[in-house]
Structure 1
């Protein structure tokens, strides 16, 4: 039986798995939870930000993705890489009743709150959570119809490795949407308020240089179908971030 089949049949809490593999001394990605580094306090801080200042960001992004990729009536498996408390995962699940969404994160202490919120949103039977390092995703090849990640890529030690992993787990014809910031449908006044509330915590990075580096990574990985998106270029007041969309070619039987 494939992992997909198992996930769809196990009770909700049972899909929270930890891949307890031996950590190699030569710098392999984290393959088991590090409870000293990724603590309950760290999870609580991230959850608080998602619940308060960033709360308008996730519904808008979910709406944008569902509309752009026509997910509302499709069936499939979606993976959120580095989803933390699962705010985006749950917003996507609410809008795609035939999808099964898997929230992945390196901090396992998000699990309890994630499943509790899934119950309140009536999508508990259509979501799961699993421990995962973006550099070593615990899924078979050609597994997911859609992979999304918001705000995780700045923390990836080796973005090229993580992007290669995402490409590996995509099904032929599958799409990935990876990046940081806001979706273009987030109203400007809302985006402005989020940035103001972040204060000194507003991310500082060179958007143009980021776009160039991502393009370079796509070319190095041999990924041909990709686009780099800088939302709301019509204004310069608020940094809406930058996004990378790519897909794996469909395979057709002769």
Structure 2
């Protein structure tokens, strides 16, 4: 048993719980992708992906490299009544076990800080995205008020908070992501860093058919 998977899920299902519907709504508003296949990378117990499934018609795949996290997510898929539109997949961001051009929306909250090779992770996301598909990758709490609420609850939960929150994020500022994305061959992107958190957003362009001269 992976103890961390259960500890993280307890936090996600407790102090962090109000964050996920807010971020899901922000993703929906920004991308306007309401149907097709969504891949939630580093999903843990699936809170973000399932929150998005609740407000869209997306078919959501919850991807995590920990078997215990997948087991937790499987149970949550059923308990939330989303078994017809949500599934789980064991795998890693740096080697996504899906075919090219098969995902309409890639999302991830909080996992990018822990990818061993961020360049490879973004390359893999770009590979599996369908033409016109979008990615929304990063971390945050939705808004400043929710962040304050989580901080207050987590300080009572852990003496290491907020150090444990800030440590993985250090060095992952806008300039860092710009450099990583360029190295991954992704040049058309947006990076936000505000009260919602830091998020990397990009689209895989539609393929334009050549117009033949008559």
Sort the TM-score into its range (normalised by shorter chain): 0.7 to 0.9
SS across alignment from 1:230: strand
- Distance in 2 of aligned mates of 1:207 and 1:201: 15
Shift, 1:150, TM fit: 0.5
Give yes or no for contact 1:172–1:250 (8 Å, CA) kept in 2.
Answer: yes
- Tell me, yes or no, if structure 1 residue 80 matches structure 2 residue 40: yes
Shift, 1:116, TM fit: 2.5
Give yes or no for contact 1:135–1:158 (8 Å, CA) kept in 2.
Answer: yes
State which of 93, 108, 111 in structure 1 corresponds to 2:53: 93
- Distance in 2 of aligned mates of 1:194 and 1:89: 20
- Distance in 2 of aligned mates of 1:189 and 1:209: 23
| Correspondences of 1:202-221 after superposition (within 5 Å) | 202=162, 203-204=165-166, 210-221=173-184
SS across alignment from 1:201: coil
Shift, 1:163, TM fit: 0.9
1:107 to 1:207, Cα distance in 2 relative to 1, 3 A: closer
* Per-residue deviation, residues 191-218 of structure 1 (Å, max 9, x unmatched): 2010233333322257786211101112
Give yes or no for contact 1:207–1:242 (8 Å, CA) kept in 2.
Answer: no
Instruction: Give the total of aligned pairs.
Output: 203
- Tell me, yes or no, if structure 1 residue 54 matches structure 2 residue 13: no
Shift, 1:143, TM fit: 1.2
| Correspondences of 1:143-158 after superposition (within 5 Å) | 143-158=102-117
- Distance in 2 of aligned mates of 1:229 and 1:62: 16
State the partner residue of 2:64: 105
- Distance in 2 of aligned mates of 1:61 and 1:209: 20
State the partner residue of 1:42: 4
| Correspondences of 1:224-239 after superposition (within 5 Å) | 224-232=187-195
State which of 179, 190, 195 in structure 1 corresponds to 2:146: 190
State the partner residue of 1:253: 209
State the partner residue of 1:241: 197
Shift, 1:135, TM fit: 0.7
Shift, 1:81, TM fit: 0.6
Give yes or no for contact 2:95–2:121 (8 Å, CA) kept in 1.
Answer: yes
Normalising by structure 2, what TM-score?
0.88
- Distance in 2 of aligned mates of 1:88 and 1:247: 20
